[in-house]
């Protein structure tokens, strides 16, 4: 008899296979966090140990260094097609928060939204990991990605609850929240007008607890930034280090995080409460997401 995790896994695998069967030039966003790493694990299951979809990471250059080391090591170990993009012009000019005299939201737009849109479109250079040398090289493939698979969950943040499994954007990646197709009784719209960009969300109905229970069951390797290293603090959500703060927690492993979540310790505390850009956007990310943010 299947349990709830089995049902979630089956649904996600089905969505991944439907996406791969119906859309060309797919990419999968990998933020290096727990959700997108679970998504990567599910993709390996969906395609029998192989991930036939290019992974894209938007590198703001402000990620915690341990995250980048973890990304590259796992990509090498699992033989992944790994690409990153970034807003190099803005970084070279130093027009970033907090030193560039701009707000957090302006920084997010430049380093995340603009970088994502132009990386997916092929307008800006992409850098591909050479699995033989372990170094990144200019990606010769400049074809646009017309669909991108994302590890967003409806319970994680307010604007994400308005998403669909197959969520259309226009050719500029802009999101009309009021123009979302109905998805009833596991019937999904996969036929969209030419020029539509698709965001695909296989984890939409998972919860934070589900994610950690699945990591525990499957023994999925994740960065140890999520665990207390003797400071009484750990990260609950990972982002750029100037704008992300850890939470108070003594959980030192996955089992302890699962037990902690089951106590309801964070029941009234948003998962992304440590992400400062959410607070500047009125407690959510809808402004950024309408413009094409992750």
Instruction: Look at residue 15 and tell me if it is in a domain.
Output: yes
Question: How far apart are alpha carbons 267 and 265 in whole angstroms?
Answer: 6
Phi, psi torsion values for 79, nearest 5 degrees: 55, 55
Residue 95 forms part of a structural domain: yes
pLDDT of residue 282: 54
Residue with tokens 């998504």: 39
Q: Tell me the C-alpha distance between 174 and 164, whole Å.
A: 15
Burial class (CB in 10 A: 0-12, 13-18, 19+), 185: exposed
How many CB atoms are located within 10 Å of the residue 130 CB? 12
DSSP structure class, residue 243: G
This model's pTM is above 0.85: yes
pLDDT tens readout for residues 200-255 = 999 999 999 999 999 999 999 999 999 999 999 999 999 899 889 999 999 999 99
| Exposed/middle/buried for residue 75 (C-beta within 10 Å: 0-12, 13-18, 19+) | buried
Contact 175, 162 (CB under 8 A): no
Rounded CA separation 223/34 (Å):
8
Low-confidence ranges of the chain (pLDDT < 50): 289
pLDDT at position 76 is 97
**pLDDT in the model for residue 159:** 63
pLDDT given for residue 261 in this prediction: 95
CA distances from residue 286 to 33, 196, 198 in whole angstroms, order as listed: 20, 20, 17
Look at residue 277 and tell me if it is in a domain.
Answer: no
Q: Is residue 48 part of a domain?
A: yes
CA distance 183 to 233: 40
Question: Smallest Cα–Cα separation from 256: which of 239, 232, 237?
Answer: 232
Which pLDDT score, from 0 to 100, does residue 169 have?
Answer: 83
**Domain count of the fold of the chain:** 1
Give the CATH number for residue 138: 3.40.50.620
> Does a structural domain hold residue 183?
yes
Residue 264: inside a domain, yes or no? no
252 lies in some domain: no
Whether 262 is in a domain gets the answer no
As a whole number of angstroms, the distance between CA 20 and CA 25 comes to 9
HSE, side-chain direction, 13 A CA sphere, residue 95 = 10
Name the residue range of residue 106's domain: 4-206
> Residue 19 in contact with residue 201, Cβ under 8 Å?
no
**Whole-number pLDDT of residue 294:** 56
Instruction: For residues 290 and 174, give the distance between their C-alpha atoms in angstroms, rounded to a whole number.
Output: 5
């Amino acid at each position: 008899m299947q349990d709830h995790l089995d049902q979630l896994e089956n649904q996600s695998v089905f969505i991944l296979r439907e996406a791969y069967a119906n859309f060309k030039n797919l990419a999968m966003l990998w933020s290096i966090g727990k959700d997108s790493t679970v998504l990567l694990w599910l993709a390996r299951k969906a395609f029998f140990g192989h991930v036939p979809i290019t992974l894209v990471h938007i590198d703001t250059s402000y990620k915690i260094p341990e995250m980048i080391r973890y990304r590259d090591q796992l990509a090498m170990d699992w033989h992944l097609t790994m690409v990153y993009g970034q807003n190099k012009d803005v970084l070279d000019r130093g027009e970033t928060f907090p030193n560039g005299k701009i707000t957090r939201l302006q920084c997010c737009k430049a380093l995340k939204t603009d970088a994502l849109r132009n990386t997916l479109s092929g307008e800006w250079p992409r850098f591909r990991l050479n699995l033989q040398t372990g170094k990144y090289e200019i990606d010769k493939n400049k074809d646009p990605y017309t669909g991108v698979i994302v590890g967003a969950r409806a319970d994680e943040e307010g604007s994400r609850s308005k998403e669909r499994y197959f969520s259309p954007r226009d050719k500029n990646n802009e999101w009309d929240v009021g123009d979302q197709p109905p998805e009833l009784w596991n019937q999904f719209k996969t036929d969209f007008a030419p020029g539509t960009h698709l965001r695909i969300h296989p984890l939409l109905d998972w919860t934070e607890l589900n994610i950690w229970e699945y990591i525990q069951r499957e023994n999925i390797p994740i960065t140890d930034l999520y665990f207390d290293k003797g400071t009484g603090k750990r990260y609950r959500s990972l982002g750029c280090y100037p704008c992300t703060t850890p939470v108070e927690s003594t959980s030192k492993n996955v089992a302890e995080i699962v037990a902690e979540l089951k106590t309801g310790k964070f029941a009234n505390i948003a998962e992304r409460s440590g992400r400062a850009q959410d607070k500047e956007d009125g407690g959510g990310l809808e402004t950024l997401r309408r413009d094409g943010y992750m």
